[in-house]
A and B are shown apart, each in its own frame.
Chain A
Amino acid sequence: MLNLTLLDGQKFQITIQRLCRQLIENHNDFSNTVLIGIQPRGIFLAKRVAEELRKILPNDTILQGDLDITFYRDDFRRRENPLVPNQTRIDFIIEGKKVVMMDDVLWTGRTIRAAMDAMQAFGRPEKVELLTLVDRRYSRHIPVAADYVGIEVDSIASQRVVVSWKETDGEDKIELLSEVK
């Protein structure tokens, strides 16, 4: 396995801060905006973004939740292993809010399709935007595009993009993993 580090250390932090500034530019005070991280790995991005926003805007209330999409996926009964659900934690109303959905890697777009479905159970948002840390370009199976992108990566299907987080993995890092033949 060949590991290529795409982003780490200070550059990783700068990327997160840039994404936060872009959000502030479009949403101002976040009084009508909520952040939703997609389980399992998008929740780390959403928590980090919420944390940074609270530092930049200490007087604002930043609402952040976790959304599990297991029951809305389109590959149920088509995998070797069953899909074990994660927890959904959304203790606020989505109805009429601007939702910024977040996932660490945007690849085929199927996860985002499932997340749009899953979100309907919590109300009708005024608007939905997508923020991703890594956009794997030219890999979509369905027409999905992100509004906010950390970095763009050109990769092939056999490669994997892995995002590590300080909180759970010990360091902030984005790696491109390639199988060596």
Chain B
Amino acid sequence: MAGLSTRHLLGIKDLTQADIELILQTADTFKAVLNRPIKKVPSLRDVTIANIFFENSTRTRLSFELAEKRLSADVVNFAASSSSVSKGETLIDTVNNILAMKVDMVVMRHPYAGAGIFLSKHVNAQIVNAGDGAHEHPTQALLDAYSIREKYGDVAGKKVVIVGDILHSRVALSNILCLKQLGAEVMVCGPTTLIPKYIGTLGVKVEHNLIKALNWCDVANMLRIQLERQDIKYFPSLREYTMLYGLNKQILDSLDKEIMVMHPGPINRGVEITSDVADSKQSVILDQVENGVAVRMAVLYLLAGQTV
């Protein structure tokens, strides 16, 4: 059996369908490990991983750290806000200094798109992209696909709508690429100002009416409005956005089928999704978090498994 076709995980666009299938299949085994009395395996005991986060993160950083520790890797954490980056050190110098301490892999989150790709060309370590600006967030897409597969048995043929700030969302792009690779039908839904002009070239449908989109789909992935990335006003007010694109229990109950509700987190309760939806039985938000550890374990295991 062949391994991954890539040395790094920089984005879903670098993965083949076989790569994605292998990651999801390996994640099944790790999910079983996480449900054992002893949730740890010794596979990565000779691997050192640096988590370098130049942007705030709760779930992704904790999830990666837990995945690394469950695989018995040595872990060092680095937050840019409390580092020498604030003194003017470049990204390459920062990473090379970390690598000089004999680090094998780097998990990086960065506010600029392409930071992971840039780094992979300049340093001699395996790079895992934990989110780069509005570009890609591959492990989020993989865990979302895993969660859909877990509920429905297969991703192929499923109709998935991604709702919200598509323009600024790395989750949206990675999800579209991953779901299309696995044979799902994908639709994006949101205000015209938050839908990229040429999104159709990725083979997705575009819908501006939330109710129509929800009636079409099996899965609704509700995205957060990324105010931190918005340089101008894209809609009149959050209240108006919520009225047109927020998912509430009333809308959910009015549908003639039971759809699966996802959210990559963090949730803005009452904006893109109400509390009663987030906490409903149709929501798999916490399952996504649990699956995130298994999927990230699979990614790290498969990347580290390439011959030293």
Interface residues in chain A, defined as those with a beta carbon under 8 Å from any beta carbon in chain B: 68, 70-72, 76-88, 117, 120-123
Determine the distance from Cα of A88 to Cα of B38 in the docked complex, in whole angstroms. 14
Pair B36/A78 contact, Cβ less than 8 Å: no
Contacts of A123 in B (CB 8 A): 37
Contact A68 B29 (CB under 8 A): yes
Q: In the complex the two chains form, what is the Cα distance from A78 to B307 in whole Å?
A: 5
Complex A-B: 16 CB contacts under 8 Å: A71-B33, A71-B42, A71-B301, A72-B42, A76-B304, A77-B305, A79-B307, A81-B2, A81-B3, A82-B1, A82-B306, A84-B26, A86-B29, A88-B29, A120-B38, A121-B36
For B40, what are the chain A residues with a Cβ–Cβ distance below 8 Å? Answer: 121
Closest CB pairs A-B (n = 9): A71-B41, A82-B3, A82-B305, A85-B29, A121-B38, A71-B43, A84-B1, A77-B308, A121-B36
Q: How far is the CA of A76 from the CA of B46 in the complex (A)?
A: 10
A-B CB contacts (within 8 Å), total count: 60
Given A77-B47, A80-B307, A121-B33, 5 more contacts at CB 8 Å? Answer: A70-B43, A76-B304, A78-B307, A84-B22, A121-B40
Contact B42 A117 (CB under 8 A): yes
Q: Does any Cβ of A come within 8 Å of B259's Cβ?
A: no
Output the residue of A70, A85, A123 with the most chain B CB within 10 A: A85
The residues in B between 33 and 62 inclusive whose CB is less than 8 angstroms from any CB of A are 33, 36-38, 40-43, 46-47
A72 engages B41 (CB within 8 Å): yes
Interfacial chain B residues near A77, Cβ < 8 Å: 46-47, 304-308
A82 proximity list for chain B (CB < 8 A) = 1-4, 302, 305-306
Judged by a CB distance under 8 angstroms, whether B101 is at the interface is no
Give chain B nearest CB distance to A117 CB in angstroms. Answer: 7
Please name all residues of chain A whose beta carbon is closer than 8 Å to the beta carbon of B307 when the two chains form the complex.
Answer: 77-80
CA distance A77 to B37 in the complex (A): 26
Q: How far is the CA of A120 from the CA of B32 in the complex (A)?
A: 15
Complex contacts, B46 vs chain A, CB 8 Å: 77
**Distance between B82 CB and nearest chain A CB, rounded to angstroms:** 32
B305 touches A76 (CB 8 A): yes
Task: A72 to B43: give the CA distance in the assembly, Å.
Answer: 6
CA distance A122 to B38 in the complex (A): 7
Known contacts A71-B43, A78-B307, A78-B308, A87 near B22 by CB under 8 Å: no
> How far does the Cβ of A39 sit from chain B's closest Cβ, in whole Å?
11
Q: Which residues does chain A contribute within 8 Å of B26, judged by CB atoms?
A: 84-85
A residues in contact with B43, CB < 8 Å: 70-72, 76
Nearest to A80 among chain B residues (CB) is B307
Report A-chain residues with C-beta under 8 Å of the C-beta of B1. Answer: 81-82, 84
Residue numbers in A under 8 Å from B38 (CB-CB)? 120-122
**How far apart are B295's CB and chain A's nearest CB, in angstroms?**
14
B residues near A117, Cβ cutoff 8 Å: 42
Complex CA gap A121/B32 in Å reads 12
Q: Which residue of B lies closest to A72 (CB)?
A: B42
Which chain B residues (174-189) contact chain A, with CB distance < 8 Å? none
Taking the closest CB of chain A, its distance from the CB of B28, in whole angstroms, is 8
Q: Which of A72, A79, A122 contacts B37 (CB 8 A)?
A: A122
A80 CA to B4 CA in the complex, in Å?
12
For residue B306, which residues in chain A have a CB less than 8 angstroms away from its CB?
A: 77, 82
Per the bound structure, the CA–CA distance linking A79 and B25 in Å amounts to 20
